[in-house]
């Protein structure tokens, strides 16, 4: 469920419409977006906005109960994984799946948000929680 405001109108619309267990993917430039899946392309120039900047804004504004990450991030981008683990609250469930599975999951997300980043496995699916 949405907590506060997001300025980007497309991202704000997706955030407003999220219900419990709905999912959004935040990805880098290289992440393929399945046909029919809404795409919000935030890329301004290479690296802008960064994956982390977009994720930080999302985490400030949306209650997240579960995240899905590619298993491959552990070996191929441990720095990004370490940052992600510090940003997520302790009650967020973290599920590692293969990168291929993560891409297949994008058929069911509400939207894929593309950042300007182009680093290995800078992709995450966030599942919306619910306020109690």
Summarised one tens digit per residue, pLDDT across range 21-49 is 999 999 998 889 999 999 999 888 787 89
Q: By the 8 A CB rule, do 103 and 38 touch?
A: no
Question: Does pTM top 0.75 for this prediction?
Answer: yes
Q: Which two tokens stand for residue 105?
A: 């999951």
Q: How far apart are CA 110 and CA 42, in angstroms?
A: 16
Residue 110 has pLDDT above 60, yes or no: yes
Confidence (pLDDT) at 11: 82
Q: Under the phi-then-psi rule, with left for phi > 0, alpha for psi from -120 to 50, and beta for the rest, what region is 21?
A: left
Catalytic residues: 20
């Amino acid at each position: 469920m949405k907590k506060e405001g997001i300025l980007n109108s497309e991202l704000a619309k997706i955030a407003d419409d999220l219900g419990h267990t709905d999912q959004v993917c935040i990805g880098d430039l290289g992440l393929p977006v399945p046909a029919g899946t809404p795409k919000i392309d935030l890329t301004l120039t290479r690296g802008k906005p960064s994956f982390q900047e977009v994720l930080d804004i999302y985490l400030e504004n949306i209650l997240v109960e579960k995240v899905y990450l590619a298993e491959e991030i552990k070996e191929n981008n441990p720095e990004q994984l370490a940052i992600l683990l510090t940003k997520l609250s302790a009650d967020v469930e973290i599920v590692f799946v293969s990168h291929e599975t993560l891409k297949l999951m994008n058929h069911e997300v509400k939207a894929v948000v593309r950042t300007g980043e182009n680093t290995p496995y800078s992709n995450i699916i966030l599942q919306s929680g619910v306020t109690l």
